[in-house]
Amino acid sequence: MLVFAREKLVFLSVPKTGTTAWQAALEPLATMMVRDPPELKHAPVFRYNRFFRPMLEKFVGEGLTVLAVMREPVDWLGSWYRYRQRDFLAGRPTSTQGISFDDFVQAYAKGNPPAFANVGSQAKFLEPQRNGTAATHLFRYEDQAGLRRFLEERLGAVIETDRRNASPAMALELSAGTAEKLRRKCAGEFDLYDSIGENGAYTPPPPLS
């Protein structure tokens, strides 16, 4: 998570959406960057609302812009799958070695997924809170140019990024049945992604629970 006090901007770090590269590029401009632990680095909206928002509104002021990035749901799952193929996870319950991408997605779509497919939810990460706290701007991961324009205009600086923490490339395929099951079981993920418009505009959904 990055905080820019003067610009009253907060950049939430949704896992597997390229935020590591943005953090490296934006750190010199940021007032505060949360690196560790992962639970705070990747603080979702509910944790931001509970722990960070009260402090920031007290010392920075109200009316903060909360920015985040969302990845197309199948592509997001593909990034997690590839990441968990890495050798350092071999033999651990979270490893996807020896598991097909189709089986990974089938397991993810279960109500209680096994450890290797338990990667969370972008929709839950971005779920608006009952007090109205929500991401105010949401960019598609694929719209890197739009995100860059927004940040450069808001921060008044030219921003250069390098690709970091990228998962190994590999061809991934889903059967028609698995793709249909994912869309049915995780409709909120696709609905939220489809709601994202130009320049980070979107309509926050109601809370999931």
Q: How much of the chain exceeds pLDDT 70, in percent?
A: 95
Confidence band (pLDDT; 50, 70, 90) for 134? Answer: very high
**How large is the average pLDDT for residues 24-47?**
93
Note whether residue 208 is domain-resident. Answer: no
Average pLDDT of the segment spanning 145-169 = 85
Percent of the chain with pLDDT over 90: 83
Say if CB 13 and CB 23 are below 8 A apart.
yes
pLDDT score for 102: 97
- CATH code of 150's domain: 3.40.50
Answer whether residue 108 is part of any domain: yes
Flag whether 52 is in a domain: yes
Q: How many domains does the chain have?
A: 1
Q: Is residue 144 part of a domain?
A: yes
* Domain hosting residue 157, numbered range: 2-200
Whether residue 208 is predicted with pLDDT greater than 70 in this model: the reply is no
Q: What is this structure's pTM?
A: 0.92
Residue 176 domain-assigned?
A: yes
Structure tokens that stand for 178 in this block: 């698995």
Q: Is 80 part of a structural domain of the chain?
A: yes
- Give the residue-averaged pLDDT of 157-178: 82
Helix H, strand E, coil C: the string for the chain is CEEECCCCEEECCCCCCCHHHHHHHHHHHCCEECCCCHHHHCCCHHHHHHHHHHHHHHHCCCCCEEEEEECCHHHHHHHHHHHCCCHHHCCCCCCCCCCCHHHHHHHHCCCCCCHHHCCCCHHHHCCCCCCCCCCCEEEECCCHHHHHHHHHHHHCCCCCCCCCCCCCCCCCCCCHHHHHHHHHHCHHHHHHHHCCCHHHCCCCCCCCC
Residue 93 lies in a domain: yes
**207 falls within a domain:** no
In this prediction, residue 161 has a pLDDT band, given cuts at 50, 70 and 90, of confident
Per-residue model confidence (pLDDT) at position 209? 55
